[in-house]
Amino acid sequence: MAARKSVKKPNVSAEELTKHYREMLLIRRFEEKSGQLYGMGLIGGFCHLYIGQEAVVVGLEAAAEEGDKRVTSYRDHGHMLACGMDPDGVMAELTGREGGYSKGKGGSMHMFSKEKHFYGGHGIVGAQVPIGAGLAFADKYKGNGRVTFTYFGDGAANQGQVYETFNMAALWKLPVVFVIENNQYAMGTAQQRSTSSAEIWERGKAFGIPGEAVDGMNVLSVKEAGERAVAHCRSGDGPYILEVKTYRYRGHSMSDPAKYRTREEVQKMREERDPIEQVREMLLTGGHASEEDLKAIDKEIKEIVSKSAEFAKESPEPALDELWTDIYA
Ligand SMILES: Cc1ncc(C[n+]2csc(CCOP(=O)(O)OP(=O)(O)O)c2C)c(N)n1
Ligand SMILES: [Mg+2]
| pLDDT of residue 52 exceeding 90 | yes
Give, using CA atoms, the residue closest to atom 11 of ligand 1: 186
* 5 pLDDT higher than 90: no
**What's the gap in Å between 169 CA and the centre of ligand 2?**
23
Q: Is the CB of 247 under 6 A from ligand 1?
A: no
Residue 158 pLDDT > 60, yes or no?
yes
- Calculate how far, in angstroms, residue 78's C-alpha sits from the geometric centre of ligand 1: 17
90 pLDDT tier (thresholds 50, 70, 90): very high
The pLDDT, as a whole number, for residue 285 is 95
Q: Is 183 in the pocket of ligand 1 (CB under 6 A)?
A: yes
pLDDT at 10: 67
> What mean pLDDT is predicted for residues 307-320?
98
Q: Choose which residue among 31, 179, 183, 187 to substitute to test ligand 1 binding: the one with the highest number of ligand atoms within 8 A of its C-beta.
A: 187
Which are the contacts of 20, defined by CB distance < 8 A and separation ≥ 6? 55, 58, 59, 62, 219, 220, 223, 279
Cβ atoms of 69 and 31 within 8 Å: the answer is no
CB-based burial, 130-145: b 16+ in 10 Å, e otherwise: bbbbbbbbebbeeeee
Does the Cβ of 186 fall within 6 Å of ligand 1?
yes
Does 88 score more than 90 pLDDT?
Answer: yes
pTM for the model: 0.96
Atom nearest to 159 CA in ligand 1: 1
Q: Coil, strand, or helix at residue 207?
A: helix
- For the segment 12-25, the average pLDDT, to the nearest whole number, is 97
Q: What does the alpha-carbon distance between residue 174 and residue 164 come to, in Å, rounded to a whole number?
A: 13
Smallest CA separation from ligand 1 atom 20, residue? 186
Residues in CB range of 112: below 8 A, 6 or more apart: 101, 102, 118, 119, 120, 121
Q: Give the H/E segment covering residue 220.
A: helix 219-234
308 C-alpha to ligand 2 centroid (Å): 28
Q: Which atom of ligand 1 is nearest to the CA of 182?
A: 16
- Nearest Cα neighbor of 26 from 95, 71, 68, 82 is 82
- Cβ(125) – ligand 1 distance below 6 Å: yes
| Three-state secondary structure call for residue 203 | helix
Q: Distance between terminal CA atoms of the chain?
A: 64
Asked whether residue 280 carries a pLDDT value surpassing 60, the answer given is yes
Mean pLDDT over the full length of the chain: 96
Q: How far is CA 263 from CA 55, 188, 258, 260, in A?
A: 22, 14, 9, 10
Confidence class of residue 1 from pLDDT cuts 50, 70 and 90?
very low
Q: Is 137 in the pocket of ligand 1 (CB under 6 A)?
A: no
8 alpha carbon to ligand 2 midpoint, in Å?
30
- The answer to whether residues 7 and 278 touch, using CB atoms and an 8 Å cutoff, is yes
